[in-house]
Amino acid sequence: MSALLEIKQLHAGIPDKPILNGLSLSINPGEVHAIMGPNGSGKSTLSYVLSGKSGYEINGGSMLFDGQELAEMTPEARAIAGLFLAFQYPLEIPGVTNMTFLKTSLNAIRRGRGEDEMDAASFLRLARAKSKALGMDDDMLRRQLNVGFSGGEKKRNEILQMAMLEPKLAILDETDSGLDIDALKTVAEGVNALRSPERGMLVITHYQRLLDFIKPDVVHVMAKGQIVKSGGPELALELEKSGYAEYSGGTEAPAGGREAHA
């Protein structure tokens, strides 16, 4: 089986500041990988470099997605190829309804794949079904994208977009941040419903608790821009007890600690 995502010796960062220092990682279809690590270890940078955010430089290595080199693709081409990033801080777009955004996005991706656009009626049925499955009411589809949404609503909305776009690889960047336990459960259920033998997931998190609800196949510990340890789900539990200190050389709190709400 060929890997869905194959990262080899990736070096990347912002100008004059290396952040990823020879990172390697391989995800097969159907697998859920979790990356844990202390603040500043480069977790979010990895998600941005994979999805093509501007401002980052790639200084070496490769990242093959479905056999294609991501570094050579525009952000939208990566999305069209099936790479999805659930944002840590979803953006607001005033005046654009959630519905319009979803439809524009879905049809841009379909066009990019040479498929026909989805007609309005089919789209509406699909959007309603998917949002209902996530416990969102129709009203949320009519609201302006993320404007006035609570933290939980924003994250749930990211999962709705993921459900609509059915990506091959979903990267969840600190999807648990800012969520209370109930919202966390709802979001995790939504993610679990999208697990499939074809789809890979990369769950980036600082805390172990998300992994109580989304059970990973593989857990990686990231520090100083590298994967420093990989193992099964038990690795996450270990981290909860011991913290990141041995990896970062600092005095990070145990990974089981509760996040302070901003």
Verify binding: residue 14, other proteins, rule CB under 8 A: no
Verify binding: residue 251, other proteins, rule CB under 8 A: no
Please identify, using beta-carbon distances, which residue of 101 and 213 lies nearer to other proteins.
101
* One residue of 90, 233, 254, 256 binding other proteins per CB under 8 A: 90
Please identify, using beta-carbon distances, which residue of 158 and 176 lies nearer to other proteins.
158
Contact stretch for other proteins (CB under 8 A) within 9-17, 56-64, 72-80, 174-182: 72-80
SS3 track for 80-107: HHCEEEECCCCCCEEEEEHHHHHHHHHH
- Both tokens of residue 206? 């600082």
Verify binding: residue 96, other proteins, rule CB under 8 A: yes
Please identify, using beta-carbon distances, which residue of 114 and 197 lies nearer to other proteins.
114
Residues 219 and 230 sit within 8 Å (Cβ to Cβ): yes
Q: In whole angstroms, how close is the CB of 174 to other proteins at the nearest point?
A: 16
Site string for other proteins, 36-55 (x = CB under 8 A): ---------------xxxxx
Residues 68 and 154 sit within 8 Å (Cβ to Cβ): no
Site string for other proteins, 163-202 (x = CB under 8 A): --x-------------------------------------
Please identify, using beta-carbon distances, which residue of 38 and 200 lies nearer to other proteins.
200
* One residue of 85, 141, 218, 235 binding other proteins per CB under 8 A: 85
